[in-house]
Structure 1
Amino acid sequence: MEKAFSLLVFIIFFIMLASVENKVKAKTCMERLDHGLCERCTERCKAKHGPKGEGSCDIKAQLCYCFYPCPTGPQCYGGAGLCGPCGSPCCNQQCADKYNQGTGFCDNIGHSNLCKCEYPCK
């Protein structure tokens, strides 16, 4: 009986250790929030990406950066508003400016021409 109890304690300890290790290895997405600069940075990040979103303000540059868990897969996704008159090249530049290693393309959805971005989880 004592052997079975020791084995059960070992298994529980191993499960707890494995769950902590997975949290440490969790990857995050990072988005620069343009509007509002640093004002209520963390609140805006949580409003956009849920309770696990964390805002960080670069006071010198007056920029709010939002960090949030990556969705399943190696890529993060976001948007950069409407596509301008120069189309995908401008969208690609907007995504590069807004997201670390971001790339973008224009996508027509209904009557809107939206700039969609993709960037790697870190």
Structure 2
Amino acid sequence: MVSIIFSIMLASVENKVKANTCTEGLGNCQQCDERCKANHGPAAKGGCDPKFQLCTCYYPCGQGPSPPQPKKCYGGAGVCSDKCGPQCCNQNCAQKYNQGTGFCDSIGHTYLCKCQYNC
């Protein structure tokens, strides 16, 4: 009986923690945790997905660099290639998203156009 109550309490606390955790994709896994902490402070934790070699940053919502920055959202605008490189990607993101900026990011052998914009 005690273990059941403890499990329920643990699940309740875990859900509250998850509800207050934000995530941000940071691309490749190089210095994942360091980049995450640089972007969102010492409470942030970067984790690398071994299958896809992608870094995800987990940080407390509402916390980050000072002064507080607007929340950033991410989207996509296709593939980066010889025909559409970083400048083309940036233009596509600016057209697709309000105040959007774009950058080419490699995922394995594929270069994707990623967009960042204020939510």
TM-score, normalization: structure 2?
0.39
Query: Normalising by structure 1, what TM-score?
Result: 0.38
